[in-house]
């Protein structure tokens, strides 16, 4: 293996330490950052995510609340909670955990969130601000990728960045971030997806390759440009050949194959994953600081 390992776990700990310090300063000035979670239904993975985000809030000195609704909840109930938190001055960030159970209109729920409290960056106003270069909230995972690149001194300006995946949560905002003017942006960006022909011929163009498709080991070493920086957003649970009956976490990139050719690579686990919560906390702190600055 020749690639340098990009240690997201360490960078996430640094960001969380900085957020905690800024939060303490804000508390001294009378504002405790507050983040509310809305969890609908009983998807076990969503419950785990919300619990760990709540714990992260506590460690950062934030106030957090979680409201749960059953899978059979009506739109009126979900929208009622969103409106309640929109109107609550102690709450600066509001996150409705996705996916919502079948029968609920995700777009309508996300659009009901006050854009100033939309720390997930999923509201169309914030999506639009990112696309037009404005100062809105950016989804935490692509923001975490950008933070890794910035803190590791990886230049994006003028580079060919290839993003694999076109989701609203990662691929599209990632492409927009890399396109933005200034630090962490100014790249030439190509976005690939499930209908891209001869995927490898496109990924091999990437001096920076960001992969977010949710398919274990889909990007092999031969699909990576020699000397590229590879960022693996995938988190996939697969059977562990070393421990029969057990599973392990792997990314969307064949780590060992890619590490032979890449200059730098994020591991899974310990790469992009820990950055998501760190950047969510940072977004929430920003929301609280803006709220505190409003007359």
DSSP letters for 4-71: EE--HHHHHHHHHHHHHHHHHHHHHTT---EEEEEEES--HHHHHHHHHHHHHHHHHT-EEEEEEE-T
Output the smallest distance, CB 93 to ligand GUN, in A.
11
- Candidate residues 154, 169, 250, 265; the one interacting with ligand GUN per rule CB under 6 A: 169
Please report whether residue 162 would count as binding ligand GUN according to CB under 6 A. Answer: no
Strand pairing category for 236-239 and 247-250: antiparallel
By beta-carbon proximity to ligand GUN, the closer residue of 3 and 95 is: 95
Give the integer Cα–Cα distance in Å for 71 and 101. Answer: 6
- Candidate residues 64, 97, 156, 266; the one interacting with ligand GUN per rule CB under 6 A: 97
Please report whether residue 47 would count as binding ligand GUN according to CB under 6 A. Answer: no
Please report whether residue 95 would count as binding ligand GUN according to CB under 6 A. Answer: yes
By beta-carbon proximity to ligand GUN, the closer residue of 120 and 207 is: 120
Output the smallest distance, CB 141 to ligand GUN, in A.
6
Please report whether residue 120 would count as binding ligand GUN according to CB under 6 A. Answer: yes
Give the integer Cα–Cα distance in Å for 287 and 162. Answer: 31
CB–CB of 142/173 below 8 Å? yes
Residue 53 designated active-site: yes
Q: Among all residues, whose Cβ is closest to ligand GUN?
A: 98
Out of 114, 117, 118, 120, pick the active-site residue: 120
Output the smallest distance, CB 98 to ligand GUN, in A.
4
CB–CB of 278/15 below 8 Å? yes
- Candidate residues 79, 90, 98, 179; the one interacting with ligand GUN per rule CB under 6 A: 98
Output the smallest distance, CB 45 to ligand GUN, in A.
9
By beta-carbon proximity to ligand GUN, the closer residue of 206 and 274 is: 274
Give the integer Cα–Cα distance in Å for 141 and 252. Answer: 15
Output the smallest distance, CB 66 to ligand GUN, in A.
12
Residue 97 designated active-site: yes
Name the residue among 240, 242, 234, 238 with its Cα closest to residue 267.
234
Give the integer Cα–Cα distance in Å for 206 and 94. Answer: 35
Contact partners, residue 53, CB within 8 Å, separation at least 6: 35, 37, 64, 95, 277, 280
Q: Which stretches of the chain bind ligand GUN, using CB under 6 A?
A: 95-98, 120, 140, 169
Q: Which residue numbers are catalytic? A: 53, 97, 120
């Amino acid at each position: 293996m020749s690639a340098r390992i990009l240690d997201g776990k360490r960078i996430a700990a640094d960001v969380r330490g900085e957020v905690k310090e800024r939060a303490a300063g804000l508390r001294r000035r009378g504002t405790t950052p507050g983040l509310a979670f809305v969890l609908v239904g009983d998807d076990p993975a969503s419950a785990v995510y919300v619990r760990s985000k709540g714990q992260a809030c506590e460690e950062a000195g934030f106030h957090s609340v979680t409201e749960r609704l059953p899978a059979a909840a009506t739109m009126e109930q979900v929208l009622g909670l969103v409106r309640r938190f929109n109107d609550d001055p102690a709450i600066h960030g509001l996150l409705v955990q996705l996916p919502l159970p079948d029968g609920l209109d995700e777009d309508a729920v996300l659009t009901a969130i006050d854009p100033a409290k939309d720390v997930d960056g999923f509201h169309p106003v914030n999506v639009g601000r990112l696309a037009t270069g404005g100062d809105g909230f950016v989804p935490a995972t692509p923001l975490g990728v950008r933070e890794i690149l910035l803190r590791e001194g990886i230049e994006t300006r003028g580079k060919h960045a290839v993003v694999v995946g076109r989701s609203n949560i990662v691929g599209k905002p990632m492409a927009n971030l890399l396109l933005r003017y200034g630090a962490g942006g100014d790249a030439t960006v190509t976005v690939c997806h499930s209908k891209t022909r001869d995927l490898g011929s496109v990924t091999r163009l990437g001096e920076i390759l960001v992969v977010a498709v949710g398919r274990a080991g889909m990007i092999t070493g031969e699909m990576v440009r020699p000397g590229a920086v590879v960022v693996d957003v995938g988190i996939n649970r697969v059977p562990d050949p070393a421990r029969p009956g057990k599973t392990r976490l792997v990314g969307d990139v064949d780590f060992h194959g890619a590490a032979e050719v890449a200059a730098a690579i994020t591991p899974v686990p310990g790469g992009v994953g820990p950055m998501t919560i760190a950047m969510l906390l940072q977004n929430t702190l920003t929301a609280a600081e803006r709220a505190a600055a409003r007359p």
